[in-house]
Chain A
Amino acid sequence: MRGMPSAERIVKDIEFEILLGAIPRENFGDAILAIKAHQGKLREEALETLQDSRVREAFSKVFQIHDMLIVLLQEMSKTIVSLQASLPKIIEQAPLEALRPEEVTSNRCLGTGDSLPISNEPTDITKFLRPDFLRLDLEVRPSRLPVIGKLVQSIKIALHHLVLFYVNRLGSQQAHINKMYGEQILELFKVMAQQQEQINSMGALINELLARIQPGKEA
Chain B
Amino acid sequence: MRDYEPAFSVVISTLDRADSLRVLLQALEAQTYSNFEVIVVVGPVRDHTLEILSRYEGRVRVLRCSQANLAHSHNIGLLAARGDVVAFIDDDAVPCRRWLEWLANIFENPFIDGTGGIVYLAHPSQPIIQFRAGIMSSLGEQMDVRSSWLERLTSPPGGGREWFARVTGGNMAFRREALLEIGGFDEFYRYVAEEADLVSRLAHAGKVVFPLKEAPIYHFPASSQYRKSFTNIGKWWIQTRSMVYFAIKNGLEAGDSLSSIIRRCFHLVHGHFLWYTQLLTKREWDLRQYIQGCVGETRAFFSGVFNGFFMPRRLIQPSMQVTSLPSEPILRFQNEHSVFQPFPDPVTGHQPQVQLSEPPLQICLLSGSYPPMHSGGIGRYTQMLARGLYELGHRVHVITRGDKEQVVVQDGVFVHTVPYQLDRYHQYQRFYNVYHILNYSHAIYERVKRLVLNEGIEVVCSPLWQVEGLVTAVSGLLPVVVWLQTTFQQIAELQGIQTRDTYVESLLEQILLEKAAFLVPISSAIQAAVQGRSQKVGSIPSKVIPPGIVPVPESEIRPLDMPCSRAPFTVLFVGRLEKRKGILDLFQAIPQVVENFPDIRFVIAGADNSVHDGFQKKMGMNYPAFFLQNYSKYASYVDFWGEVTDEQLQRLYQSCDIFVAPSLYESFGLVYLEAMNYAKPVIGCRTGGVPEVVENGITGVLVEPGSPKALAEAILSLLNSPEKMREMGLAGRQRLLERFTYTTMAKSFEEVFRETVRLFKVNQECAR
Contact = CB atoms under 8 A, between A and B. Distances in A.
B679 interface: no
A165 B427 contact: no
A62 B545 CA distance: 49
A14 B508 CA distance: 11
B153 A10 contact: no
Contacts of A161: 153-154
A25 B503 CA distance: 39
A5 B510 CA distance: 13
B500 interface: yes
Nearest to B503: A4
Contacts of A190: none
A157 B445 CA distance: 34
Interface string A81-102: 0000000000000000000000
Interface in A169-207: 169-170, 172-174, 176
B259 to A, nearest CB: 26
Contact of A7 (B203, B206, B511): B511
Interface stretch (B51-59, B299-307, B467-475): B467-475
B506 to A, nearest CB: 10
B507 A158 contact: no
A159 B154 CA distance: 9
A140 interface: no
Given A15-B474, A158-B151, A5 B208 contact: no
B150 interface: yes
Contacts of B475: 14, 18
B427 A13 contact: yes
Contacts of A166: 208
Chain B interface: which size bin? 20 to 34
A170 B154 contact: no
B507 A172 contact: no
B206 A173 contact: yes
A73 to B, nearest CB: 16
B206 A14 contact: no
Given A14-B471, A17-B442, A161-B154, A1 B208 contact: no
Nearest to A175: B206
A173 B205 CA distance: 7
A1 B511 contact: no
B500 A13 contact: no
A147 interface: no
A162 interface: yes
A219 interface: no
Interface in B400-428: 424-425, 427-428
Contacts of A157: 154
B446 interface: yes
A14 B504 contact: no
Given A14-B470, A172-B206, A5 B504 contact: yes
Question: Which of A10, A21, A159, A161: most chain B CB closer than 10 A?
Answer: A10
Question: Which of B153, B442, B471, B507: most chain A CB closer than 10 A?
Answer: B507
A174 B430 CA distance: 60
Given A7-B510, A14-B471, A18-B475, A158 B425 contact: no
A11 interface: yes
Contact of A170 (B111, B151, B438): B111
A169 B208 contact: yes
Interface string B722-761: 0000000000000000000000000000000000000000
Contacts of B471: 14, 17-18
B207 interface: yes
Nearest to B471: A14
Contact of B206 (A1, A4, A18, A176): A176
Contacts of A159: 150
A164 to B, nearest CB: 9
Contacts of B154: 157-158, 161-162, 165
Given A4-B503, A10-B508, A169 B206 contact: yes
Interface in B484-523: 500, 503-504, 507-508, 510-511
28 contacts: A1-B427, A4-B500, A4-B503, A4-B504, A7-B510, A10-B438, A10-B508, A10-B511, A11-B474, A11-B511, A13-B428, A14-B442, A14-B470, A17-B425, A17-B471, A18-B445, A18-B474, A18-B475, A21-B442, A157-B154, A158-B151, A161-B153, A165-B153, A169-B206, A169-B208, A173-B205, A173-B207, A174-B206
Given A5-B428, A176-B206, 18 more contacts: A5-B507, A6-B507, A7-B507, A7-B510, A10-B508, A13-B428, A13-B438, A14-B470, A17-B424, A17-B425, A17-B442, A17-B471, A18-B474, A157-B154, A158-B150, A162-B154, A170-B111, A173-B205
Interface of B: 111, 150-151, 153-154, 203, 205-208, 424-425, 427-428, 430, 438, 442, 445-446, 470-471, 474-475, 500, 503-504, 507-508, 510-511
